[in-house]
């Protein structure tokens, strides 16, 4: 539903064709097809580290530009959770730590990691 609504908003905003493309499908299959397609020039990916590594490995064999964001822990910014509950309690997507005090503490620390991807 999110992708479909985003596509509707892109069309309403009158973006030129091809500026924003939304690909729906099973992540690993759709993502691999996108990464392997010779007419795709850039991929922007947000998701789990395993898939980010796979995309990085695949795209390193081509000139595909990429923007990857993987392995993040986000904080609940709505203030609707008891942050003293161990690990943030249970969330709809499973048991995780992104709703608890650990995430809030990490969210407020300044972090910067720099590394060279290629010599280009």
Say whether both 24 and 58 belong to one domain.
yes
Say whether both 116 and 79 belong to one domain.
yes
Domain with 87, as residue range(s), is 74-120
Give the β-pairing of 42-47 and 90-91: unpaired
What integer pLDDT is reported at residue 26 of this predicted model? 75
Say whether both 115 and 79 belong to one domain.
yes
Say whether both 2 and 29 belong to one domain.
yes
What integer pLDDT is reported at residue 92 of this predicted model? 46
Q: How many domains does the chain have?
A: 2
Provide the b/e sequence for 26-38 (b: ≥16 CB within 10 Å). Answer: eeeeebeebbeee
Say whether both 65 and 119 belong to one domain.
no
Tokens representing 103 are 């995430």
Say whether both 66 and 102 belong to one domain.
no
pTM higher than 0.75 for the full model?
A: no
Q: From 58, 62, 21, 67, select the one nearest 38 (Cα to Cα).
A: 62
Which of the 8 DSSP states describes residue 83?
Answer: T
The number of C-alpha atoms within 13 Å of 114 and in the hemisphere containing its C-beta is 0
Say whether both 61 and 82 belong to one domain.
no
Helix (H) or strand (E) holding 43: strand 42-47
User: Mapping DSSP to helix (H, G, I), strand (E, B) and coil, where does residue 12 land?
Assistant: helix
10-residue mean pLDDT profile of the chain (120 residues): values are: 82 88 76 81 79 79 76 57 55 47 56 65
Name the burial class of residue 62, with classes exposed (0-12), middle (13-18) and buried (19+) by CB atoms within 10 angstroms of its CB.
middle
Say whether both 64 and 39 belong to one domain.
yes
Say whether both 104 and 118 belong to one domain.
yes
Say whether both 66 and 113 belong to one domain.
no
Say whether both 42 and 94 belong to one domain.
no
């Amino acid at each position: 539903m999110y992708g479909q609504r985003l596509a509707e908003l892109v069309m309403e905003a009158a973006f030129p064709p091809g500026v924003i493309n939304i690909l729906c499908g099973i992540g690993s299959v759709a993502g691999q097809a996108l990464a392997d397609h010779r007419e795709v020039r850039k991929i922007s990916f947000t998701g789990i580290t395993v898939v980010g590594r796979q995309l990085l490995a695949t795209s390193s064999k081509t000139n595909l530009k990429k923007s990857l964001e993987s392995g993040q822990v986000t904080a609940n910014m709505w203030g609707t959770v008891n942050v003293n509950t161990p690990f943030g309690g249970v969330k709809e997507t499973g048991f995780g730590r992104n709703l608890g005090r650990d995430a809030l503490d990490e969210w407020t620390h300044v972090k910067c990691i720099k590394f060279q991807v290629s010599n280009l």
